[in-house]
A = this chain, B = another copy of it.
């Protein structure tokens, strides 16, 4: 996330926000934020939100995630919010929303995500 200029701007138990300034290097041919960047930032926000509700000695493996791209990623800045929908000792589900922020109007929802993670301890899961 750091390599694309993203910044963690809010961390609370179960909620994390990541902000990203517009950067032409992250856009596709039409000047819109690239879908891969949107997905990666949403995934990061959802995963960090899940980390905020587990034991410090546990870690998370993403089982699956789904992204809906809703509107073109046109903005000066982008906000990615991840929220834990279902905490748990084994399975955690997070939802994420991505917004384009423009100086002249309200934030616009550009993508949504649902991710399912498994809580792992020790090297369990890494061996898979």
Residues of A within 8 A of B (CB): 30, 32, 35-36, 39-40, 43, 61-72, 85-86, 88, 90-91, 93, 95, 109, 112, 114, 116, 118, 126-128
Apart from A63-B91, A95-B112: 6 A-B pairs, beta carbons within 8 A: A40-B40, A61-B69, A62-B69, A71-B86, A91-B118, A114-B114
**A contacts with B: majority SS:** strand
Assembly stoichiometry (copies): 4
> Is the Cβ of B40 less than 8 Å from the Cβ of A128?
no
Contact partners of A68 in chain B: CB under 8 A: 63-64, 85-86, 93, 114, 116
A30 shortest CB reach to chain B, Å? 6
Decide if B109 touches A86 in the complex (CB within 8 Å).
yes
Shortest Cβ distance from A10 into chain B, in angstroms?
Answer: 21
The answer to whether B114 and A116 touch across the interface, beta carbons within 8 angstroms, is no
- CB-nearest residue of chain B relative to A47? B35
Closest to A126 in B: B30
Return the chain B residue nearest A34 by Cβ: B40
